[in-house]
Chain A
């Protein structure tokens, strides 16, 4: 009798947990299902159709992808995206790590430095991109002004008018925006490393480089994996910087997959084709996420915890 009563009460509790859980999840779930999950499915479907703005398309199989594969602009955009992501991520990583190590020292005004350094990351990217656009102006760039005054160049640099110049200029803007994020998150990682490791290794006669190589780096690897995954993810899908600074020009030299899909789908009206370009980015993103997943696992394993 008693046991019976207990079990029904447990059941009730379990039921109410599930019911309550459902109610609590409802607002978030509805919003995410309608505006995230459904569009993801819709995007995949659109990629297989010839939908245009204002006209729902019909199934055309892999035609979009076949067309894009043979489209020189799309190929160029894929190359640009990979180049942009690879160079910007590597530079962001090294500069970010360096900045994090500098900030991890015993400094005066450390909190102030840390706060100020994050500014490029928190202000609207579209707006700081306009500042870069002005800094890269072909006629009145202050960078060119300084370089001419120093006697390093005798003609103003055409930052955005020449393909390779434009690529490196946009990469520089992306690095400027991304370094604070990498630095501050890596700094948080550095601060979790106990100073006793450094003291012990110093007693054993380790040089600063050996300390970095054999103490800092191994202990920082898990967080580096996660931070860089995020960095790669956001660089690969970057849109704002390119759209504001170059709109993909000159001669499509800076078009990324995201800006190209915008141009084809929204400006050009070819929804199906644009959606196919977006979906083509997914495999790359999945690769980045898998990387993150294994990075996280390794972290849990290193700390002696079980995998979540």
Chain B
């Protein structure tokens, strides 16, 4: 037996597929080193955002010295951002638009998904397919005619323009995701409730929704980040500074001519990214399941 285990290369080849038998140095080179490079590249822009936001201008615009560190940190850029620009207003707009459109879309999607998946009205299958196709319509082919619609409805340059158009990508996504969750809830539960005399409304609110809470959180988190990050509609449908959202405000208003205020630009980018990153950090699992679920279905 001992001779077999020391049989050398032959034996090694046989077991190389079992990762737990791999030697540590080998794993260091084949797994941890590439992973570290990936991690570095994926996270470096955020580090750069953070460090630029607190770096004084003379350090930013100098090729001497170590650019990876701040020698004399400053809050000047943040101060400029908060007091000399409409940044706080943009932040507020982004919050209002994201929260309202997320909840509205979630509510509409719960009903739609329940109707398609559980009421099975005639034509439900086709409606489900239609929802999936709607999910595939990218905003960048829709924004021109949508701008015309928004204008006709007199919504141009208002928050309503965004609150009402964001559901065009939120509802298909949330409905599609919730359909998957509702499908996993056993029919028997509903049948029992029906026999006990529950109405459809009671079944929805007392049985289905409590069981679908993880799905609701996934859909909600995902919808919130999608609307927080939305750019092209907000860029097209809004033109006054006081109605802009953060991504649009930072891109269109913090850039003045040829002089780039990199410090405040990066501070704006950083604070605009932090809320989603913060929420995401609490709901990573829900977010991932939402993302993979929407693709896998």
Contacts and interface: CB of A to CB of B under 8 A. Distances in A.
B288 A118 contact: yes
Interface string A193-223: 0000011011101111001000000000001
B17 A206 contact: yes
B6 interface: no
B244 to A, nearest CB: 12
Contact of A28 (B63, B171, B262, B287): B171
Interface string A30-64: 01101110111011001000010000000000000
Interface stretch (A68-76, A85-93, A130-138): A130-138
Interface string B255-297: 0000010100110110011001100110010011001100110
Interface string B119-145: 111101001000001101111111111
Contacts of B175: 28
B273 A128 contact: yes
A135 B41 CA distance: 12
B276 A226 contact: no
B149 A176 contact: no
A226 B136 CA distance: 12
Interface centre among A106, A119, A180 (most CB of B within 10 A): A119
B17 A211 contact: yes
A179 interface: yes
Contact of B43 (A116, A179, A274): A116
Interface centre among B61, B119, B140 (most CB of A within 10 A): B140
A159 interface: no
A82 interface: no
A10 interface: no
A25 B16 CA distance: 55
Contacts of A29: 112
Nearest to B94: A124
B226 to A, nearest CB: 10
B49 interface: yes
B60 interface: yes
Interface of A: 17-18, 20-22, 24-29, 31-32, 34-36, 38-40, 42-43, 46, 51, 95, 98-99, 102-103, 105-107, 111, 113-120, 122-128, 130-132, 134-135, 137, 140, 142, 145, 176, 179-181, 184-185, 188-189, 198-199, 201-203, 205-208, 211, 223, 226-227, 230, 233-234, 237-240, 243-244, 258, 261-262, 265-266, 271, 274-275, 278-279, 281-282, 285, 289
15 contacts: A18-B122, A25-B121, A27-B112, A32-B172, A34-B149, A123-B46, A123-B277, A176-B41, A176-B42, A179-B42, A199-B17, A207-B13, A234-B138, A261-B144, A265-B147
Top 6 closest pairs, chain A to chain B, by CB: A21-B121, A202-B17, A24-B115, A126-B247, A43-B145, A237-B138
